[in-house]
Each structure stands twice: as structure tokens, then as C-alpha cells.
Structure 1
């Protein structure tokens, strides 16, 4: 059942607004209750299937959507595409029982920021929400490799190139590390720069490529042969 959730009292600063979509009611309710107790997180709704989740996402415009891969009426993949189309700013985390599901690759290619195993601890879930809300991805290095292999097989997109489009050497370096599945902290450590500097580079990359997510940037870079990949 689709059900808006009353906002919780939060401390200073705007909370991360989260929508939970899962057809298993006990899991959904439990996750909602646990997230509602987290500082800086506000659960703005919950839904029991993909169609209701899509409609509620359009209504409440959440920052982050936790979306089950397997659901009735509208699958997680279809719901992911629909939510990204209607609420492009929403970051989507796919909930799954296994990181080997082929659907996860389709989800990431459809705009999801990554995936989270259903047996994750509440600390891991809360951290995942904060990570994707910050513009990062939840992609393991092994999945990143598989995704890049798939992207390399795709034809070049029909996109109007931006005249004079150029990434700096440092931006290309950051993009290559993003493509390996590294998060901002790991990239900062690798390049011996601050996390804020990494964030700025990623923001510049997305603006120059006219894209909306880190994974879209990697897809574009692979297709346009901007990365030195074997």
C-alpha cells in the first residue's frame, strides 16, 4: 500500500528525504522505522510495488529512493527508469538479495546509483543513503569492470557534441578512478588531494559532459574513448 510518512523532527540542516519501495511489508516497515531513527534522514514515504512507488516518488520528490529489484505490477528496473524520468534529481539504490543478479546491471544503466544487499546492517544502509545523496555511487570494483565491458560493446550514442569539449588531464585522471569503482575518499587518497577537490572535479566533469551521474559519465567516457582502457 502506498503511504506517505509524516516527517520527523530533525536537527540543524536539511535532512536527506528517503522513499522506501519494497513489496515485503515486514522488511519495508522495519527499514522505514530504522531509517526514521537516523540523524539527518527523513523517511517521506513507503510503497509496496513499483507502480505505487513511482507515483509516490513523483508526488514527494525524494532525494533518495530505496527500490527493490523484484516487485509486482512494475519491476524495480521499470520503476527505476520511470522515477529517473519523472524525478531526475532522485538518487536510486536498488535493494537486492544478491549482487550477482543480471538485473542490477540494467538498473545501473537505467540511472540507479548502485545497489545494496538486503542483509546489510542499518549502519550500512544509512551510510549508503548519505553516499548517494552526496552524488557518489554504490558500485563495487567487480561490477564496475563488468559495466565498463558492457559499455565498450555499445555503439556510440547519438549525441550532439559540445563544441570545444575538453576535460583536463586531472579530470580525466579522476574519471578513470571513478570508472574503477572508487569513491571520493579513495580517489582523494590515491591522488593525494582533498575530498572537496575530488567533488569539484566530478562536478566539473558532469557539467562539461552535460550528464547527471557518475555512472553516466563513465558510460559516455567509454563510448567516446576518453579513457585508456584495454
Structure 2
């Protein structure tokens, strides 16, 4: 059994927080999971960027307020060279201003530090699989904020980037429909939906639903008014 567990491909996690006690507590929780391992720890944004380049983690658990470089700028820089790495924000700051900035920088999710340990672990698995960790009300505020920024880019039309079925899946995802419900609506298997989302993420060089939705919104591929 031990050999089997060792052979499982583990989720590589990088922790970025300037508080040692927070990193230690988070590391202990993560390392107890059979499918996860902490590959590096950063005490500030600059170190987070440097260690991300070296270790190429699957998921980065990032704080916002850190010395030398904050989590927003660190996320932005990391996503430039590791677009498929999911950044999960774990912070004490509950502010629309921070949420908008982080999601536009490429973060896949946003959690407050008062969450339970099992919620954080579930969130790491979720963003690793391409899900977004946001409250529905938060998602709606983000989308409303970005609607005014939608710009039609003729050189990159949806048809030249995604297939018709992939666009259909993306629009349903934008409505907040779960993978299971998307599968039911399109009369396909859940695995097929996951494959479509995976292909969408690869084509758009993103790591989560939220990033894919924002990508389409910014280019005017669809508008939320069209998605009742």
C-alpha cells in the first residue's frame, strides 16, 4: 500500500506568507494529505516569484500583504511564465478592491484566513482541477465590474480559438453551472465536460474557470446579459 501511495502524482504546493506560524500550520495540513506535498515556502512576493520559477508548483497558496512585493503583483508575474499554475489567495482582507485586482492578475480563488482546514484542503484540490473558489455573489460583482472592459478583438474570434461545443461549455460555466449539470444539459458524460474544460484552459493558457470566463468577457466573446 505504501508503494502505491508513493506512486501517486502529488499536487505540488508552494506557500507564500510572511507569517511563519501561518506557513507552518498550512504546511502541516497539506503534508497530511496523501495527494499533496509542499515543495517550497516563500516569506515575501519576490521570493514567491523566484521559487515558482524553480519548483513550478501546481498550486500556490498566496497571501496579499507581504513585504517587498505584494500578492497581487506576485500573482501577475507568476502567471506570465506559469499560466497553468493555479494561485489560491488566503488572506485576512475581505475587500472587493483586492478581489478584483487579484482575479484580473490571474488568481483562481480567494479565501479568508478564518476558513477551516478542510475547506482550504478542498479548495487546493478544486483549483488544481480547474474550479474557481469564489462565492456566487463575488463572481457576479467581478463580472459586472469587467463588463465595461469587454473589447472585441477581431484578430482573435471565438471560432478561431475554441470549438462551438467548447464555447457552449464556457458559456454554461459563466452562468455558474456545475460540471455535472453541464453534462446533463449537453447530454454528455461528466468526464467529457472535464475534457472540454481542460482543452479550453490549454487553448487560452489559463488555469481556472474564472480566468477562462474573464478571458472571454474581456474580448467580447459573450456578455452576461446573454446568459440568463
TM-score range relative to shorter protein: 0.7 to 0.9
Q: Which 4+ runs in 1 deviate beyond 6 A?
A: none
Check the 8 A contact 1:113/1:215 in 2, yes or no: yes
The answer for the alignment partner of 1:77 in structure 2 is 72
The answer for the alignment partner of 2:206 in structure 1 is 212
Q: 1:58-108, CA deviations, whole angstroms, 9 ceiling, x for partnerless residues?
A: 111111000001111101101101111232232100112244342111111
Check the 8 A contact 1:174/1:187 in 2, yes or no: yes
Structure 1 residue matching 2:7: 3-state secondary structure: coil
Summarize the alignment of residues 176-215 of structure 1 with structure 2, pairs less than 5 Å apart.
176-185=171-180, 187-188=182-183, 193-206=188-201, 210-213=204-207, 214-215=209-210
Q: Would you tell me which structure has more helix in proportion to its own residues?
A: 2
Q: 1:128-157, CA deviations, whole angstroms, 9 ceiling, x for partnerless residues?
A: 111111122112211221121122111516
Structure 1 residue matching 2:27: 3-state secondary structure: helix
Check if 1:132 corresponds to 2:127. Answer: yes
Extract unaligned runs of 5+ from structure 1: 1-8
Distance 1:55 1:220, change over 3 A: closer
Q: TM-score, normalised by structure 2?
A: 0.84
Distance 1:154 1:59, change over 3 A: same
Distance 1:84 1:163, change over 3 A: closer
2:106 to 111, 116, 120: 111
Give me the whole-angstrom Cα distance separating, in 2, the residues matched to 1:226 and 1:166.
11
Check the 8 A contact 1:80/1:111 in 2, yes or no: yes
Check the 8 A contact 1:205/1:217 in 2, yes or no: yes
Give me the whole-angstrom Cα distance separating, in 2, the residues matched to 1:101 and 1:10.
41
Give me the whole-angstrom Cα distance separating, in 1, the residues matched to 2:187 and 2:134.
22
What CA RMSD, in Å, does the superposition of the two structures yield over aligned residues?
A: 2.6
Check if 1:35 corresponds to 2:46. Answer: no
Check the 8 A contact 2:42/2:51 in 1, yes or no: yes
Give me the whole-angstrom Cα distance separating, in 1, the residues matched to 2:108 and 2:54.
21
Aligned positions, number: 221
Give me the whole-angstrom Cα distance separating, in 1, the residues matched to 2:152 and 2:205.
13
Check the 8 A contact 1:64/1:129 in 2, yes or no: yes
Distance 1:166 1:27, change over 3 A: closer
The answer for the alignment partner of 1:6 in structure 2 is none
